[in-house]
Amino acid sequence: MGKFFFGLIILSFIKPSQGNDSLNIAVASNFDSTLEKISLEYEKKEKLKIHIISGSSGILFAQIVNGAPYDIFFSADSDRPETLDSRGLTRARGTYAYGRIVFWERDEPVREQSLSRTNRKLALARPEFAPYGKAALEILENFNHGLTNLAYGVNVNQVFAYIETGSLKAGFISLSQALNKNLSPINYLIISESLHSKIEQQFVITANAKNRAEEFVDWVLSPPVQAIIINSGYRGITLDD
C-alpha cells in the first residue's frame, strides 16, 4: 500500500493513479492508522492498490479544491465534505464514524483539574485545520481555561509527536491514537461528547473518482468494518449510533 505523509505539499508531486486497479485516498490524520488497517484487508480481498495520503482535513480540502487527484476523502469533520458537495466536486457524501478526543498526560496520571490550569502549556491541533483542535478549544472553554500558553500542531499526529518526544507534557489527541499507540489508560482521559461539538467524520467520493471508489466506501460502511472502526476508538454509524 503506497503511503505518503505531508503537511503543505506541492500538488504537482501527486501522481494520479492509472486505470481502475488503484485508488488515491486522502485521509485526516486521526483516521490514518485505522484506514491503513482497513485498506490492507481490502487490498488482499479485492486485488486493488490503495495509495493513502494523510494530512489535516483543512489542507486536504484545499488540495481537492485545487485539483488534487484524490478518489476519496475521509475528513475529520462534516463541514468540509459539505462544502465540497455544494461546489459540485463530489458524487457521494456520507458519515463513516464519530471521533472521540482524549486529554493525554505524558508523565503522570491524568486529572481533570489540569484542564483548568491557565498557566500550563497544552498542545492541540490548529482549530482552523483540524476538527479535533476545534473540539479541544471548546473543552478548555468548558473548564474555564484562559486559552493562553497553548501550542498548536498542524494535526493530531504532530500534537502526538510533540508530547511523545517530551517537547510538551500534555495535550489533546484522538482516542484512536491512544489505543493504537498502547498508551496507559491512567495517562489519558476520554472527554465526554457533551463538552464539545460532535466530531462527525464524513467522506466524499470526488466527482472524477474511479468507479471502484463506491465499492471501497461500501466496504468501510459495512457492519464488519464498522466493528473495526469502533474497536479503533470511534463511535460507529452502523452498530452503536
C-alpha dihedral sign at 107, 108, 109, 112: negative
Residue 188 domain-assigned (yes or no) = yes
**pLDDT reading at 98 higher than 70:** yes
Predicted confidence (pLDDT) per residue in 115-169, tens digit: 877 778 899 999 988 889 999 999 999 998 888 889 999 989 999 999 999 999 9
Rounded average pLDDT over 76-97: 97
Domain total in the chain: 2
pTM for the whole structure: 0.85
- Are β-strands 199-206 and 90-99 bridged in parallel, bridged antiparallel, or unpaired? antiparallel
Q: What is the pLDDT of residue 8?
A: 39
List helix spans (H) across the chain: 32-46, 57-65, 79-86, 131-142, 156-164, 175-180, 212-221, 223-231
Which tens digits make up the pLDDT trace of 197-206? 999 999 999 9
- Residue 118 placed within a domain: yes
Cell of 50: 490503495
Q: 131 lies in a domain?
A: yes
pLDDT surpasses 70 at 3: no
Q: Is residue 236 part of a domain?
A: no
Query: Are 10 and 92 in the same domain?
Result: yes
* Span 115-127, pLDDT tens digits: 877 778 899 999 9
What residues pair up with 4 in beta bridges, in sequence order? 53
**pLDDT tens-digit readout, 63-83:** 999 999 999 999 999 999 999
Q: Are residues 111 and 175 in the same domain?
A: yes
87 and 206 both lie in a single domain: yes
- Residue 115 DSSP code: G
pLDDT (tens digit, 9 = 90+) per residue, 50-61? 999 999 899 999
pLDDT of residue 7 exceeding 60, the answer is no
pLDDT at 113: 83
3-state secondary structure at position 235:
strand
Q: Are residues 150 and 213 in the same domain?
A: no
10 and 81 fall within a common domain: yes
Amino acid 19: pLDDT: 58
Q: In this structure, is the dihedral angle defined by the CA atoms of residues 136, 137, 141 and 144, taken in order, positive or negative?
A: positive
Burial class (CB in 10 A: 0-12, 13-18, 19+), 210: buried
Does the structure show a pLDDT above 70 at 24?
Answer: yes
Q: Is residue 38 part of a domain?
A: yes
Q: Mark whether 220 and 184 lie in a shared domain.
A: no
CB 102 within 8 A of CB 186: no
Residue 9 sits in which domain range? 2-99+198-231
CATH of the domain at 25: 3.40.190.10
